[in-house]
Amino acid sequence: MPRRSGRRGGGAKADGGAAAAPASELVRVDGIKGRLATLCTHEVALDVELSELQTVESRSAAMKRVKTKRDAVRAEIETVECELDAAVNAPVSGGRDPTEWLPDELMLMIMMMLPFTTLWSGACERVCQRWAQLMESASIVRRKRDGRWAAYEAGAIKPRRLEGHTNHVWALAIGLDGRVYSGSLDNSIKVWSGESGAHLQTLTGHTRAVNALAVGLDGNIYSGSDDITVRVWSGVSGAHVQTLEGHNRGVLALAVGLNGKIYSGSGDNTIRVWAANDGAHLQTLVGHTDWVRALAVGKDGDVYSGSDDTTIKVWSGEDGTHLRTLAGHTNNVTSLAVAPDGRVYSGSTDSTIRVWSPVHGAHLETLVGHTGDVDTLVVRTDGTVLSGSWDRTVKVWSGGNGAPLHTLNTSAGAVLALALGCDGTLYSGGGVLEAW
């Protein structure tokens, strides 16, 4: 087969070393919460009024009027929720980056002493996210990263090629220990050192192209293939652990749920849900009318699926209930990613990236710049978005306003897969595997 909800919490942002928020800021947050509660009450009242109108004759004009008012209230709820989210998560007045005053040498020493793979695992995930955000916004990291992107963009330095695959690289993943996994049209998965880029191991067993890779919460590696199976590999030894069977067409997408469930999307238009502990098939999610090419899991555990039917569907991570459908793309949805703030990014063969609200699924903005299919997306912990396209470029976008920051040109053909290493290295798959 060819490849190609819930509202956010309102608690104050935790920061162990920061001073308590001033009273004025707390009053502002409480005021926004009050406005939101009033609007929600108004929305419920309008729903009741609509329900009552359904029993009255000649109600068309009245229903249209009430619907218009309700839609306006819902739109304002969306705006106020975004305002509340910004207020709650804004830095404390007068606060500053506590790393700005540290010498560069000391910052580097601290970063070397704290292994990212340990911080990113299990119950430490939220702590690690805050630490990673702090590190990526630190002055030394910011300067080095911006300088490196600019040098790549100018062609002053070139990405390093990791040679080994005999065909296109279609999937990438980073193990909990920092090792890099690449899946290819040559039916194999190769394992690379995240430090040196050395080839460590080749995992064989699939009989057709490897389209998707994911890392489980237990460190195991999951691979989806055109041979219609999902294989499970030990993240320690690389040994084949199990084969999950049930799809009747190729597996094109994989994602790991916050509850440990494994999700696989297929050319049979379905999403299958598997138990990570024993590989048992738990559920099949049906609703798309064409191939499911992309999967992602939101901060609240909801699952997002992108399809050749041009839509994105949202499913409950608890029971698989279909929650909503996001429509707007004019061609296949081929990639999905979720930002730290919960916003969802979708890439399409219509050459655009759309940004969606995690609250009601509202379309927030469209990022335009690629001239080919947007086949892969990743989001850094600081919110920066990276997109890979068939136009042979990787574009870097601001997570704040969606502004284009950099364009990295590759000589390896279409960019089909992206992954971010634990040390910030960007890996891109296409004609060859490259490390930026």
CATH number of the CATH domain containing 297? 2.130.10.10
Domain match, 372 and 223 both: yes
Clarify whether residues 176 and 132 are in a common domain: no
Distance CA 227, CA 245 (A): 10
- Domain membership of residue 1 (yes or no) is no
For residues 338 and 358, give the distance between their C-alpha atoms in angstroms, rounded to a whole number: 9
Torsions phi, psi of 29, nearest 5?
Answer: -65, -45
Tell me the backbone φ, ψ of residue 400, rounded to 5 degrees. Answer: -80, -50
Residue 199 lies in a domain: yes
171 and 49 in a single domain? The answer is no
Is 16 part of a structural domain of the chain? no
Residues 123 and 200 in one domain: no
Has residue 201 been placed in a domain?
A: yes
Same domain membership, residue 285 and residue 349: yes
Residue 151 maps to a domain: no
Is residue 97 assigned to a domain? no
* 192 shares a domain with 131: no
Give the number of domains in the chain: 3
User: What pLDDT, on a 0 to 100 scale, did the predictor assign at position 110?
Assistant: 56
77 and 225 both lie in a single domain? no
Degrees, nearest 5: CA angle 421-157-150: 75
Do 50 and 169 share a domain, yes or no?
no
> What is the rounded CA–CA span in Å between residue 110 and residue 188?
37
Domain holding 42, by residue range, is 23-89
Domain membership of residue 124 (yes or no) is: yes
Q: Is residue 310 part of a domain?
A: yes
Per-residue confidence in pLDDT tens, the chain, 436 aa: 444 433 223 333 333 333 444 555 666 666 776 777 777 777 777 776 766 665 554 456 666 777 777 777 777 777 766 666 655 444 433 444 444 445 555 555 555 555 444 344 333 444 444 445 444 545 555 556 666 767 777 777 788 899 999 999 999 999 888 899 999 999 999 999 988 889 999 999 999 999 999 999 888 999 999 999 999 999 999 999 999 999 999 999 999 998 889 999 999 999 999 999 899 999 999 999 999 999 999 988 899 999 999 999 999 999 999 999 999 999 999 999 999 888 999 999 999 999 998 888 889 999 999 999 999 999 987 788 999 999 999 999 888 788 888 888 887 789 999 998 877 788 999 988 988 8
pLDDT of residue 218: 85
Q: What is the 3-state secondary structure (H, E, C) of 177-195?
A: CCCEEEEECCCCEEEECCC
Q: Can you give the pLDDT at residue 118?
A: 39
Residues 118 and 238 in one domain: no
Q: What is the distance between the alpha carbons of residues 385 and 64, in angstroms, rounded to a whole number?
A: 40
Q: What is the pTM of this model?
A: 0.70
Same domain, yes or no: 108 and 46: no
Rounded to whole angstroms, the Cα distance separating 244 from 317 reads 20
d(CA 95, CA 18): 7
> Do 118 and 244 lie in a common domain?
no
Name every residue whose Cβ is closer than 8 Å to that of residue 21 and which is 6 or more positions away in sequence: 12, 92, 93
Q: Are residues 63 and 112 in the same domain?
A: no
- Cα 55 from Cα 219, distance rounded (Å): 57
